[in-house]
Structure 1
């Protein structure tokens, strides 16, 4: 499926592409009659499973070191978690869909309600999938529960449910895989804080070693349209030991230093990117192969009908690079991820409006 964009959007993004030569380069392009080339997804696939769950949120790649023995997952597959049920009630989705490298989507996991599988989705090389669970009773923030992390094996079976006082509405997650040790940085929608959970990992599962709040003070509130406006996207830079945090309601990107070693909460960190022209409710976030950050806009803050459902690329020094359109209507851009572990660079992003996943191939040079 190729989306149709308005003429204004086509020309705006084309101009940005021409002026931001250091930004992402796409391996495949589509030509528009009234403007230069625009990136077109290599592939688009439905994320709706047989039970009718919608509102795809989390995106995770199966990397080449993932232990696939005994299960259907293969390197290059993409997993997508669904947050809503077939009645479109938020915080009631129970499924994870597998988008294989080739072939049609299939159901990978279906849990038992009450569940609400959020943007917090990641994989560990021992063959585990970790997903945040933020359930509601009726699709409103007033009935939202603290939730948990679910640990699922490579056969799609739930093996663990992890709870902690530092898990309070897991909205997104940066999962750092270090083999027999892992760190889960979690943004919590209910408390508006960011937690760090340290785990020992073995073929038997995950053992929680410690947990603590490492950052707080982000604006947060319930929202009928988005369930919560709260800190969301997290990216961990292990070279600098910096955790980048996209705070939706603040509409800013923060940097939390010494994230893996921090022993106390010292507030939200420092603002590294503030841009009301291009940020419209900063949401999920990923790091591109060129070291830039990619953040989606959910359009519930500072909405601009001329820039709907955009992915914004910017440097870690806070310099805007360009925008990538996801959907011609507001509210379509949510979860995304980037993978470079399988011999190429891939960008995958969900379109909530279409309940679909789009995948682009990126040039590494």
Structure 2
């Protein structure tokens, strides 16, 4: 079990809200569970910036200080504007170690340094690379409705929060969530795409959702795409009047060194043995894509790590240092922990608000920090929260 710093690294939490999770105890007292012993939820901060953007989706932890990025802080992307129209949010906020919130970026669609069809509506796809580059997905609308969805793009920002380029067209079509494998001089992005044939289907189900690997060279003045590969395809997706679009969402790579969170790995897992986990929301399953870093063809919808078994429209997903998969449900506010062999070993209630059912539609981005616990966004309350 990972050690946790009782000082919580100096976080000064505002709007303290503690929820004792009685009745949501973990299912097994398993020492391998990263959720074992975590029983309280604390509100860290509001994620609403001065322009009123709401609906926090993406979440990424900042690992090192550079430019305006502060180590130990968290970036959060907002999907809606102040009128609560989906696909119109333009801000990324930074929650600092002292609990304050600042605007890291406010992105003007008219001033982007490249194409982004439809404009700006920032999604769950958000990563911070070691070199200080921030990459965020855009799936925009003009009025918050499916009929006006644009194909969007990936927007690359420097460490000061300024956009420097976009990646669009080709295989990028509605970037919904994203994770990265980052060596410092190169990175592989894994991006879920949810707009392949979706809008034309008018709310009917289509099996065209994809995961695209975007390989980047980071040695130059700005990231350069060296290749794009569809590593998974055929996931169900559809537009939705409430959720805008539903399809493959969270993605996470199995760790190079399971159990090592100190950077002391001496026997890393080979790249061609690492797998990608995908939250296949409409199939209510977690998919496994083998050889994700090296494969040259699509694995279709992969194999199944788990289906049902506590999953209820899995959305956000992250992989803990020990290799366990953490995913949050879109339909009931629970987080589920799965082992790499598919056993459910823990489950917690993170949000009991929402409509029409408790916790419905409130959970998206999350990350696990061994010193803190599970950090997650809640778009019902527009807050960043901690399960500890």
TM-score for the superposition, normalised by structure 1: 0.86
Counterpart selection for 1:189 from 187, 194, 208: 194
More strand by percentage: 1
Give CA deviations for 1:249-290 in whole Å, capped at 9, x if unaligned: 111011111111111123111011012x51110111001233
State the partner residue of 1:280: 312
| Greater Cα shift, 180-189 or 259-268 | 259-268
- Equivalents in 2 of 1:227, 1:10: separation in Å? 33
Q: What secondary structure sits across from 2:22 in the alignment?
A: helix
**Pairwise CA distance, 1:243:** 0.8
Count matched residues. Answer: 330
Q: Could you tell me how far apart the structure 2 residues matched to 1:61 and 1:245 are?
A: 20
Which residue of the other structure, out of 121, 136, 160, is the alignment partner of 2:165? Answer: 160
Residue aligning to 1:34: none
**1:73 pairs with 56, 62, 69, which one?**
69
User: What aligned pairs does 1:167-178 form with structure 2 within 5 A after superposition?
Assistant: 167-178=172-183
Q: d(CA) in 2 for partners of 1:198 and 1:85?
A: 31
The residue aligned with 1:289 is 321
Partners of 1:21 and 1:210 in 2: CA distance: 41
Is 2:364 the counterpart of 1:334? Answer: yes
| Deviation sequence 1:144-165 (CA, Å, 0-9, x none) | 1111111111111111111131
Q: Does 1:23 align with 2:53?
A: no
Alpha-carbon distance between aligned partners in 2 of 1:19 and 1:338, rounded to the nearest angstrom: 19
1:108-132 C-alpha deviation (Å, 9 max, x unpaired):
1001143111111001111111101
Q: Give the superposition deviation at 1:167.
A: 0.5
The residue aligned with 1:310 is 334
Aligned partners of 1:149 and 1:136: how far apart in 2?
A: 15
Give distance in 1, aligned partners of 2:369 and 2:122.
21
Distance 1:21 1:207 in 2: 42
Counterparts of 2:213 and 2:32, CA distance in 1 = 33
Counterpart for residue 55 of structure 1: 55
Q: Report if the CA contact (8 A) 2:125-2:136 is conserved.
A: yes
SS in 2 for 1:249: helix
- In the TM superposition, residue 26 of structure 1 has moved relative to its aligned partner by 6.5
Which 4+ runs in 1 deviate beyond 6 A? none
Instruction: Give distance in 2, aligned partners of 1:3 and 1:94.
Output: 30
Partner Cα distance (1:103, 1:241) in 2: 35
Return the offset for 1:193: 0.8
Pick the aligned partner of 1:236 from 246, 250, 253.
Answer: 253
Aligned-pair RMSD on alpha carbons?
1.9
Cα distance per residue 1:76-131 (max 9 Å; x no partner): 00000000111111111000000001141111100114311111100111111110
Unpaired runs of at least 5, structure 1: 30-37, 300-307
Separation (CA, whole Å) in 2 of partners of 1:235 and 1:206: 21
Please, what TM-score do these two structures have when normalized by structure 2? 0.81
Contact persistence 1:26–1:360 (CA under 8 A)? no
CA contact (8 A) 1:89 1:139 kept: yes
Distance between the aligned counterparts of 2:35 and 2:302, measured in 1?
31
* Equivalent-residue separation in structure 2 for 1:198 and 1:21 (angstroms): 36
| Structure 2 residue aligned with 1:221 | 238
Aligned to 1:252: 285
Runs of 5+ unmatched residues, structure 2:
1-15, 110-118, 197-208, 257-268, 354-359
CA contact (8 A) 1:311 1:333 kept: no
State how far apart, in whole Å, the 2-side matches of 1:176 and 1:266 are. 19
The answer (yes or no) to whether the contact 1:232–1:245 under 8 Å persists in 2 is yes
Give the Cα separation in 2 of the matches to 1:214 and 1:18: 34
